[in-house]
Chains A and B, each alone.
Chain A
Amino acid sequence: MIGVIVGIIPGAGGNVAGLLSYQEAVRAAKNKDEFGKGAVDGVIASETANNAEVEGSLIPLLTLGIPGAPQAAVMFGALLLQGLRPGPELFRGHGAEITYTFILSLFLANIAMFLMGFFGSRIYARALNLPQHLLVPVVLALSVVGSFAGRGSSLDVTIMLLLGLLAYGGQKVALSPAPIALGVILGPIIERGLVESMMLSQATGSLTGLLFTRPISLILIILTVLSGGWPIFAAFREKRRLRAAAQAGARVHSTSNLWIGCSALVIAGITWWELQGVDLQSSILPKVCAMLMAAVALGLLAKAWALRASPREEKVKASRLDSLRVLTAVGLSIAYVLLLPVVGFYIMTFAVFCLLALLLAPRPASLRKLPMIMLTGALACLAFYLVFQRIFNVPFPEGLLI
């Protein structure tokens, strides 16, 4: 039950489900000592929950268009691409045929997964030996092709990389990409709801009446207050107990707060400036967002200021070589995206593949590995050509050369 319920809750992924049901399994067990030392019950609890969470997360996605997990958020992209709108339409007429085909196929998928896992885990175990330095460039190239494919626009590729690098920076300051992704998906739902309510209220006269008095709305409002208030309450309780422990991490916290706060203020400012002269109904949501971001940013900055004197935490610093490598990787991916429209996909992909793989290859890095890397890169390009251009017929970024 735990897996499904966690799945239904928007945004809570399989890690929450797995850990929660693991805790419960420990609590229910008679011999608690065995856990952590190889108790089969621990594996059962975690794996059952995270797979049940898959289906749980699809419930709000299919019925309301609210994804229950990051993976479901991406499935939302697939629904959009196919022109399917989540909601009642997916459970009527032709929509129902598609939806139930999908749901019933999950039975088969689970059986297939069981059989493949049961009899084939030895083969999959070998896959763990795939060299990572060859995987990175392949994934990068796939991201480029994928983001280009939708509208055939190089701008989309740039946006993809820009958001990705922002999200990577966010991760460094303890801001995970999942809330951003959910915001992107929920934004249009919120905006349409708000603006259409505003339009409706021009007929009935009162916007607050429309927003705050309908019964289902009231339930949703109460749930919102509870879910927003709960973490604050929990943090408050936690803080009392663990005040000392919290102090230790304060230093790291305050730098990340500083970063997030300042960038949010800049973004809010730019947004506000761009929105000058746009009418109220078209600009209300971005304006409110900018204001809220500024408010939260000020809060974070105030906290950073309050914590500035706290004892310095000894940070585990990444070695200079590591950060240099990441910076080079970032630079390479930017060059990749910017030069793509000029040079052409295949040459650029091949070049970036070789450079990235060489950069990330395990020590001792030597040019002796280059022929092997070049061969793999050429094969990867060939595979891209055959699979995507021949079979899937996906549009490719075209340059002046190829």
Chain B
Amino acid sequence: MEWLGYALTNIFAPVNLLVMLAGVAGGILVGALPGLTGTMAIALLVPFTYGFSPEEALIMLGGVYVGAMYGGSISAILINTPGAPASIATTLDGYPMAQKGQPEEALAAAATSSGVGGILGTVVLLLFSPVLAAVSLQFGPPEYFWLGILGLTIISGLSAKSLPKGLMGGLFGVLISTVGLSPSTGVSRLTFDVSDLLGGVEVIVALIGLFCIPQIMTMAESRGGTLGLAAFRPQKGRSLAAMKLVLKRWGNLLRSR
């Protein structure tokens, strides 16, 4: 537990608070803009954290991750367009609420339940990850091999609509990762005699390409402009009432977190 004091003083260090706030604010903004996702925002930010300390970098990116998740609900509620795929379910009742003249209540409910969900999730992360880390000490090369295979099959089945297509994507990704020098034997493969490829394909370079370029082109498909004016006038007390209502639904909060 010797880390506790260090961590507690560290999170309140001015620089760390600043990058955290900037991350959350930027995350909400990016999350709210349809077409720009949190994944994209983090991918674009990672290279610029090179000069940061590890703490600063992780705190800022964590803030973006958290903020963008909530930001998606703003556009989901106000203009029925999920700002990110994660907010698809929010459009189902959030937009009807806004249409009924309760956009404020919907946004306040989203903010409150996002906050509660995130905090409960962090508790689980705090308690559970040391346990899993201890288990991972037992892992040797064969276990890591199977772990990788397991991850590949799960994502192939879940993220794609069909297993073969997802599998194809996963295999192609693995193939990309093998370009360059072999990590174990130091022999070069798949470099096509280009010496710059010896170092392999940098992970973050691949991720930026994979997550940002398709988004850009999708945005180019629809001649954009603005997405319709979204504004409303807040009235006193309505948000607060919505927050209290949310906190009364603790059964729903606990189940969904």
A and B are interacting partners:
yes
- Residues B47 and A59 in contact, CB atoms below 8 Å apart: no
Contact with B along A193-237 (1 / 0, CB 8 A): 111110110000000001100101100110110011011100100
- Residues B252 and A25 in contact, CB atoms below 8 Å apart: yes
Interface size on B, residues (CB 8 A): 201
A238 to B115, CA, bound (A): 37
Contact with A along B222-257 (1 / 0, CB 8 A): 111111111110100001001101100101111111
Extra pairs beyond A211-B142, A279-B185, A296-B164 (10, CB < 8 Å) = A7-B121, A64-B139, A82-B49, A88-B133, A110-B118, A114-B114, A142-B44, A143-B44, A147-B205, A181-B207
Scan residues 1-32 of chain A and give those whose CB is less than 8 A from a CB of chain B.
Answer: 1-4, 7, 9-19, 21-22, 24-25, 28
- Residues B151 and A11 in contact, CB atoms below 8 Å apart: yes
Q: Does A175 contact B (CB under 8 A)?
A: yes
Q: Which of B92, B172, B210 contacts A267 (CB 8 A)?
A: B172
Q: Which of B4, B115, B201, B207 contacts A73 (CB 8 A)?
A: B207
Contact with B along A142-182 (1 / 0, CB 8 A): 11011101110101100111111101101101111111111
Q: Does A370 contact B (CB under 8 A)?
A: no
Residues in B neighbouring A128, C-beta threshold 8 A: 32-34, 74-75, 78-79, 226-228, 230
- Residues A132 and B130 in contact, CB atoms below 8 Å apart: no
Nearest CB of A to B70, in Å: 5
Nearest CB of B to A20, in Å: 8
A143 to B128, CA, bound (A): 35
Residues in B neighbouring A282, C-beta threshold 8 A: 182, 184-185, 187, 189
Listed A/B pairs (10) with beta-carbon separation below 8 Å = A43-B106, A74-B211, A150-B205, A175-B160, A184-B210, A190-B174, A193-B141, A227-B157, A281-B184, A360-B224
Stretch of A133-141, A306-314, A343-351, A374-382 on the interface side: A133-141
Q: Does A254 contact B (CB under 8 A)?
A: no
Interface size on A, residues (CB 8 A): 210
**Nearest B-chain residue to A155, judged by Cβ:** B196
- Residues A40 and B125 in contact, CB atoms below 8 Å apart: no
Q: Which of B88, B111, B232 contacts A18 (CB 8 A)?
A: B88
Nearest CB of B to A195, in Å: 4
- Residues B118 and A54 in contact, CB atoms below 8 Å apart: yes
Nearest CB of A to B26, in Å: 11
Scan residues 125-161 of chain B and give those whose CB is less than 8 A from a CB of chain A.
Answer: 125-126, 128-130, 132-161
Q: Which of B16, B70, B219 contacts A117 (CB 8 A)?
A: B70
Nearest CB of A to B132, in Å: 4
Residues in B neighbouring A1, C-beta threshold 8 A: 254-257
- Residues B133 and A62 in contact, CB atoms below 8 Å apart: yes
Scan residues 230-287 of chain A and give those whose CB is less than 8 A from a CB of chain B.
Answer: 230-232, 235, 256, 260, 264, 267, 271, 274-275, 278-279, 281-283, 285-286
Scan residues 49-101 of chain B and give those whose CB is less than 8 A from a CB of chain A.
Answer: 49-51, 54-55, 57-59, 61-63, 65-75, 77-79, 84-90, 92-94, 96-97, 99-100
- Residues A224 and B257 in contact, CB atoms below 8 Å apart: no
A99 to B3, CA, bound (A): 9
A104 to B140, CA, bound (A): 30
Residues in B neighbouring A9, C-beta threshold 8 A: 154, 158
Nearest CB of B to A328, in Å: 8
Contact with B along A110-121 (1 / 0, CB 8 A): 111110111011
- Residues A59 and B255 in contact, CB atoms below 8 Å apart: no
Residues in A neighbouring B47, C-beta threshold 8 A: 81, 145-147, 149-150, 394
A126-B231 contact, Cβ under 8 Å, with A38-B102, A78-B61, A117-B114: yes
Nearest CB of B to A387, in Å: 9
- Residues B133 and A91 in contact, CB atoms below 8 Å apart: yes
Scan residues 106-126 of chain B and give those whose CB is less than 8 A from a CB of chain A.
Answer: 106-122, 124-126
- Residues A112 and B63 in contact, CB atoms below 8 Å apart: yes
A184-B206 contact, Cβ under 8 Å, with A42-B94, A103-B125: yes
- Residues B85 and A51 in contact, CB atoms below 8 Å apart: no
- Residues B137 and A106 in contact, CB atoms below 8 Å apart: no
A4-B257 contact, Cβ under 8 Å, with A38-B102, A51-B121: yes
Residues in A neighbouring B44, C-beta threshold 8 A: 139, 142-143, 146
Q: Does A354 contact B (CB under 8 A)?
A: no
A375 to B102, CA, bound (A): 39
**Nearest B-chain residue to A45, judged by Cβ:** B256
Residues in B neighbouring A55, C-beta threshold 8 A: 118, 121-122, 124-125
Q: Does A366 contact B (CB under 8 A)?
A: no
| Interface core residue of B44, B84, B126, B153 (most chain A CB under 10 Å) | B153
- Residues A159 and B201 in contact, CB atoms below 8 Å apart: yes
Residues in B neighbouring A176, C-beta threshold 8 A: 159-160, 166, 169
- Residues B122 and A135 in contact, CB atoms below 8 Å apart: no
Residues in B neighbouring A110, C-beta threshold 8 A: 66, 114-115, 118-119, 122
- Residues A136 and B216 in contact, CB atoms below 8 Å apart: yes
- Residues A47 and B159 in contact, CB atoms below 8 Å apart: no
**Nearest B-chain residue to A283, judged by Cβ:** B189
**Nearest A-chain residue to B27, judged by Cβ:** A113
Nearest CB of A to B226, in Å: 5
- Residues B221 and A325 in contact, CB atoms below 8 Å apart: yes
- Residues A182 and B97 in contact, CB atoms below 8 Å apart: no
Residues in A neighbouring B197, C-beta threshold 8 A: 155
- Residues A91 and B129 in contact, CB atoms below 8 Å apart: yes
Residues in B neighbouring A59, C-beta threshold 8 A: 124-125, 128-129, 132
Nearest CB of A to B59, in Å: 5
- Residues A178 and B155 in contact, CB atoms below 8 Å apart: yes
Q: Does A373 contact B (CB under 8 A)?
A: no
Q: Does A290 contact B (CB under 8 A)?
A: yes
A98 to B62, CA, bound (A): 13
- Residues A52 and B117 in contact, CB atoms below 8 Å apart: yes
Q: Does A300 contact B (CB under 8 A)?
A: yes
A151-B202 contact, Cβ under 8 Å, with A15-B88, A121-B74, A192-B144: yes
- Residues B212 and A179 in contact, CB atoms below 8 Å apart: no
A183-B207 contact, Cβ under 8 Å, with A62-B129, A217-B143: no
A35 to B128, CA, bound (A): 34
